[in-house]
Amino acid sequence: MRLSLKYNERATHPLSAAFVRGSAPDVWLQEMNAWHIPLQQLVCFIISQNNNPLEAAGLFVIFKKEQMPGLFQVRHPYTVMGGKLYIPIDAELSPAISEPELQSLLIWDCQVFHPTIGFIGFERSDRIVLADLLQYLEPSPVNWEYAHAGQQPWVPLHQVGIQQLSTEQVFESVKESISNKPLTEIPKSNKKDVPGWLNNRVAEALFKGLYKLLSRLFALIPFGLFGAGGFNAGNVSNGAGTGRSGSGWFSSIINWMEEKIEDLEKQRDNELKRLTDMFEKNSDEALQYAIPLNSPYLNRGTTSKPSARLTRNPLQFNLGRLGGGYAVDGWNVDNYYNELRTKYLKAAQDAISRKDFKKAAYVYAHLLGDYASAAAALRQGKHYREAAVLYKEHVKNMSLAAACLEEGGIYIEAIELYTDLNQHEKAGDLYMLLDRKEPALQCYEKCVDRAAVSKDYLEEARIITDKIGDRSRAKKVLLNGWQDVKQPEACLLKYFDLVSDENNAHFHAAVLSFYREHVPVKNELSFLNVIDKVNKKYYSPEMENTCKEIAYEVVSEQVNAGNAGSLHSLRNFVPGDQLLTPDCYRFIHTFKHVPEQKPAASQLQLIKDVIWKQTLTWQNQLLVFGMKSSGLILARINGDRQVEYFSWNVPMEANLPLITLADSFNTNLVLVYNEQQVFTAKQLPANKHFQDELLVYSPGFLPQVLIGGCMHKGAVITLHNELEESFLNTYSLQGELLKSVRCTFNDKAYFIPAVTINEMLCSEEEYFLACDKMLLRISAEGKMGVLHYAEKPVRKFAVNVKESGVTIAMTFEDRVLFADLPADRFDRTPKRIEFNETLPQDVIILDDVWYVVAYKQKVQVYNLEENAPSVIHWEIETENDVVAVFSGSNRNQLGILEANGLITWHNFRESA
């Protein structure tokens, strides 16, 4: 295989080393002096010329992680691959190579791939000591009293400002690539045209008003006064009359006016038809005449006529209009709306495939009013400043705006946004790129303080280690984490990682010393879990023996205390002993004093200084979300009641809705949405207690004005408003828009009034959403129906879809309603059961039969089957307010989350 270097201007590799050009040590030292790093901290090798091995081409310098200069201080920065191969930071290997293949090629202790010199290998013995390059001379008797101070150094440059674009400038710059034309300039057909003055909207309105006035006046005048013939004035709706007859001059004027109004509507309909046909022939040309469907920026230039623009009346979704449509004025594109929108979306996707990202942004923003997709297209096309403006001004997503500014190298503006968002770590990283260490450290310390408040020891230690570079301080934090209950094993494992980096030769002794000093009896089995991983990660004969001795000692104490099950831990430390496992089983089953295995605990107390909000079940894991002043808290619980805690240190308001979405059968992703914050992705790793790993993150691709959302079959489904209409979108997990349909009721477009965002429930290809006083049912094609309309807002709901119909359970402020709706409304009479109870908090359906309702301090289970002996099957009262109810680990079990963090599990069938 022949490897080469390929230049990549967008490469984002971390800094690891530097190449200092020059053939003399004084040149090298002069550049290295600007790094402000002690020379004894640097690893140096001399690289010779290709054509003259006795002459140096430069000095190659490798940095340590804790002593790293700013990126802009290094003229020729290098990064490291596979721990041994150094390449320029703006380069990549071609062809791409896997890690095992790369390791097989790296035969020296250090390899450097220089763009012109080539591939150079070094051994440890090739390292030079910089002090050996200096020759010390005897001081000469020179009088230095006449020396002068010289010129003052230039003030360092900290920032170069760029004039910021306004929203209007962004839109105009995007429109320039289209050269849009008025709709009336589409090549005409041979059909009759209308007078040019009628294309003016003011003239059109006056003309229609005069027509209505004359029609009503004529209906009041005695027959024959203005000439022979009758006239029956009709109502003018959408500009069309009912037909006229008569020979009088007055009726002739009215007939002529009606004819012109009808011709105007026909001409507009013809223009729309020609526009849709043009997309089939030449979509680029059609875009020049395209009509905005949703956008506040409808100005099409001074050369266009008002009649070339669409004016659409608000289509407000409310119960009074559920029976059908209502009159709209002027340009009404309902007949062409779906067709035009489909063609616009296809044109945008085609533009992206051709890498014409500005044209795609034009279609999304100007024609569809979808600013989130427009900004994403601009970002994909590396138009970062324009994308940032859209994200900031229209999408209102400051995190994505800051990310665009960061990717575009506009660091100062990105820092300002990150600071406003309390993402101080990102701000600190950018300060470091600008070689401004002091404000960077201040940002990192803010992150440390926030992590300390929420007792997120891993996060606190990570920032102290990776960002501040104080490893001893990080070890103290991790030691505190080992003594706490949140993530003791993870903290201790990270602690040993730091100890290994500092003292690898005597690492086994450090592990034994830690066991003697910092492991209480209650944590001994957890300590065995940790050193099992440590032994595998940092294997050596000494470490193996040390871990084995500790395991024997711990298991012996545990067995003497009656915990014979701890014998199974020995298998990890004596893997070659094939007789150990059967011996352990034999001992356990013959040991008469071994107590029976205790069942999983029926209750669990979470940390109390958290406002616990809701639960989410993912396969065999229970996720409980809560909030503190310092940010979001997540408790992860398995079937054995083992719990791990994770946190996001971003401040958020506790009263804002938090939407959590999961699709446990198709993906291991959990989406978290909050109107205020975008949460960084956090991995919940698989370990001894949790078989599957999870990734929790906030999707940045969700549209504006979000009404509801869910995950279904490995996709993200959203319901959102665009100006005066609602749309059902389907996204891939990576954010690609797969499908977008317009929501309709009785084939008419409507706007769904949303008070707050809610989670949608999904059943096959139907979606259910509680929206204020309505419970909506929405098909995959966007057709909506109202399952129930109430007098008060719906708080919580659950749906059970069966072949015979739909059963819904809804909670309101003062009552609970169960309704059994037949699939065919003529099949049977809907069944309704209602309970007047105050403050119901949550409702779920278990096993298609049991309806669980949580009240303020009470939980009841209802059985709605006709042959049930009692409607209320089971109930329990709680000492604290109930936050949520959830399904347990088996079909007979339900769980209850109380406000103080107490979780209890109940076998409600057996207890009834």
Q: How many CA atoms lie within 13 A of 198 on its CB side?
A: 18
**Across 552-559, average pLDDT:** 83
Q: Is 90 exceeded by the pLDDT of residue 262?
A: no
**Residue 105 banded pLDDT, cuts 50, 70, 90:** confident
Give me the domains of the chain, ranges plus CATH numbers.
4-133 (no CATH), 172-297+336-385 (no CATH), 795-912 (2.130.10.10)
Backbone CA torsion sign across 62, 68, 69, 71:
positive
| ω into 520 cis (within 30 of 0) | no
Q: Which two tokens stand for residue 136?
A: 């010390």
What pLDDT sits at residue 878? Answer: 93
CB of 398 closer than 8 Å to CB of 417:
yes
What pLDDT sits at residue 457? Answer: 92
User: What proportion of the chain, given as a percentage, has pLDDT over 70?
Assistant: 77
What pLDDT sits at residue 159? Answer: 64
> What whole-number distance in Å separates Cα of residue 905 and Cα of residue 887?
9
Phi-psi region of 714 (alpha: psi -120 to 50; beta: other; left: phi over 0): left
CB of 704 closer than 8 Å to CB of 396:
yes
Residue (of 897, 454, 426, 447) closest to 632 by Cα position: 454
CB of 186 closer than 8 Å to CB of 271:
yes
**Across 349-371, average pLDDT:** 87
What pLDDT sits at residue 170? Answer: 63
Q: Which residue has the higher pLDDT, 355 or 704?
A: 355
Selection from 72-76, 450-454, 799-803, 903-907 with the highest mean pLDDT: 903-907
What pLDDT sits at residue 228? Answer: 44
CB of 883 closer than 8 Å to CB of 612:
yes
Q: Is 90 exceeded by the pLDDT of residue 460?
A: yes
Maximal C-alpha separation, the chain? 130
What pLDDT sits at residue 300? Answer: 39
Q: Is 90 exceeded by the pLDDT of residue 404?
A: yes
Place of tokens 């429930």: 761
Q: Which two tokens stand for residue 344?
A: 């616009």
**Across 226-245, average pLDDT:** 43
**Residue 231 banded pLDDT, cuts 50, 70, 90:** very low
Q: Is 80 exceeded by the pLDDT of residue 18?
A: yes
* 22 three-state secondary structure: coil
The string of pLDDT tens digits covering residues 19-48 is 999 988 989 998 898 888 888 889 999 999
Q: Which helix (H) or strand (E) holds 58?
A: strand 56-62
What pLDDT sits at residue 745? Answer: 86
Q: Is 50 exceeded by the pLDDT of residue 240?
A: no
Q: Is 80 exceeded by the pLDDT of residue 620?
A: yes
Q: Which helix (H) or strand (E) holds 548?
A: helix 541-560
Q: Is 90 exceeded by the pLDDT of residue 76?
A: yes
Q: Which range has the worst mean pLDDT, 63-77, 622-636, 855-869?
A: 855-869
Q: Would you list the DSSP string of 163-208?
A: PPPPHHHHHHHHHTTT----GGGSPP-SSPP--GGGGSHHHHHHHH
> What whole-number distance in Å separates Cα of residue 706 and Cα of residue 720?
4
CB of 635 closer than 8 Å to CB of 595:
no
What pLDDT sits at residue 726? Answer: 87
Q: Which residues contact 761 (CB under 8 A, 6 or more apart)?
A: 710, 767, 768, 769, 797, 798, 799
What pLDDT sits at residue 329? Answer: 35
Q: Which residues contact 687 (CB under 8 A, 6 or more apart)?
A: 489
pTM, rounded to two decimals: 0.65
* 647 three-state secondary structure: strand
Q: Would you list the DSSP string of 291-328?
A: PPSS-S-----TTS-GGGS------B--GGGTT-----
Q: Is 90 exceeded by the pLDDT of residue 503?
A: no
Q: Is 60 exceeded by the pLDDT of residue 797?
A: yes
- Amino acid in the structure at residue 39: L
Residue (of 166, 723, 175) closest to 392 by Cα position: 166
> What whole-number distance in Å separates Cα of residue 726 and Cα of residue 741?
9
What pLDDT sits at residue 188? Answer: 53
CB of 812 closer than 8 Å to CB of 819:
no
**Residue 467 banded pLDDT, cuts 50, 70, 90:** very high
Residue (of 153, 173, 162, 5) closest to 78 by Cα position: 5
Mean pLDDT of the chain: 79
CB of 644 closer than 8 Å to CB of 455:
no
The string of pLDDT tens digits covering residues 145-204 is 777 777 777 777 666 666 666 666 666 666 665 555 555 555 554 444 555 544 555 555
Sheet holding 872-877, edge to edge: 842-846, 850-854, 858-863, 872-877
